[in-house]
Amino acid sequence: MSKRAVDAVFQALFILSDLRFLLRETAPQHDFDEAQKKRAATSLEKVKRQIAIIEEELVQ
Amino acid sequence: MKCAVDIEARDVEEMYINIDPIQAGGRLTADAMKAAISFGDGYSVCDNCRNPPRLDYIQKPPIAQFHADLATWLNMDTARVVPGARRGFQAVASTYVEKGDPVIVTSLAHYTEFMAIEAAGGVPREIPKDAKNHITPDAAAEKIEAVIREFSHTPPLLFVDHVDYQFGNVHDVAGIIKVAHQYDIPVLVNGAYTVGIMPVDGKALGADFVVGSGHKSMAAPAPSGVLATTKEHAGQVFRTTQAKGDVTGRTFGMKEVEMMGCTLMGVTVVGMMASFPHVRERVQHWETEVAHSQAVVDALLSIEGTKVLSDYPRQHSLTRIDTRESFDTVAEHHKKRGFFLSSDLKKRGITGVIPGSTKVWKFNTFGLTDKQIRHVGESFIEVARENGLNIV
């Protein structure tokens, strides 16, 4: 059982949900302002960290 | 892109500004999306269901607290989550209406109110609207008198829509309830277009029942809703079962008859709960939503020949518009006929106007950002200008 991997999968999905919400807020052009770009960049960094955990726990 | 075999993923809200009249208030919050990911399995909220085995007693996730919070928020005494506003109507009608009873609704009532009355064996009678598409206390009093004359007894229930689905007009619900109570008629307030998008105070309205829709106005998955009531009525509408099996002798304890035991058992209730803090917050910004609605309506009214059929200035984000003398004149000779409007809007990233509609149609601006509102207003004007209509 890898609680850490399970948590990372959920965390990644939750962070991507925040990104999805950002797409909704900015539809249809998705023309991000500076604050939105920062939010998106932060989210992507967080997702990468979670994916790294999943790889570490399940694949490597 | 498919999300499963033969099921296209839905990306309408990500790709377009959606002004569909019924979808605006039910768009999920990010937290509700996360809850949906986590609680998608059927009986997912039942992991920690203990004694008494009933949804509104579950502590983890905090469904019991959510029920208490819902009642407090609506300023009512008790509340239950239900599978859509219609099931709230049905629970109340089933409790109070006997076969052949007259039940008063309004001439702007949602069809599900009629269904609830019919299922209970009641006979619907409508309060007429006035020339301004309003239901007034005077009209309610006249109808009550007429119904008493016709049936020789007082109706056991009256339904009134806080904001109607046809025009998005706000009605004098408190005044109507005051009249109904003079005849001892309990009143159910249909808050499908108010609970979750604008402040609602059940006690201030004098309501006996307040019904809201989770998927229409509380940023929740469908089907979901809330039925709230007073101490006076809670014992009746939320009565527990007395049934007993004649062979097994089984009884069913605390299960509530009108709730069919438990109601929302997974993603619906947890989605409602996850959105609730945001919903509580957003109703405080109702004035901004009304200003947004007004801005789009004003943009439409700048197109020569366009009329607004809802109250003006706007008091709600749902609006009924008449473009028979503007966009419909274009449709008469356009190669796409009436489909040109939805098509031209879609090119600009706007959806939700029924394809083919250029006569009388509705839209809802709830939940859009300032930027999106500007885009919608400017797009209507651009489409009009490109098709030779005058902007005044």
Q: Is residue A60's pLDDT more than 90?
A: no
DSSP A33: -
Q: Give the model confidence (pLDDT) of B288-299 as tens digits.
A: 999 999 999 999
Residue range B24-49: mean pLDDT, rounded: 97
Quote the pTM value.
0.97
pLDDT band at B174 (very low <50, low <70, confident <90, very high): very high
* B13: contact with A, CB 8 A cutoff: yes
Whole-complex ipTM: 0.97
Q: Which residues of A touch B27 (CB under 8 A)?
A: 24
* pLDDT for res B28: 98
* A58: contact with B, CB 8 A cutoff: no
* B372: contact with A, CB 8 A cutoff: yes
Using the CB atoms, write b or e for B71-80: b if 16+ within 10 Å.
bebbbbbbbb
Q: Identify the residue among B37, B368, B379 best suited for mutation to test binding to A, counting A beta carbons within 10 A and taking the highest.
A: B37
* pLDDT for res B4: 94
In Å, how far is B35's CA from the nearest CA of chain A?
9
CB atoms within 10 A of CB B230: 19
Q: Give the model confidence (pLDDT) of B38-96 as tens digits.
A: 999 999 999 999 999 999 999 999 999 999 999 999 999 999 999 999 999 999 999 99
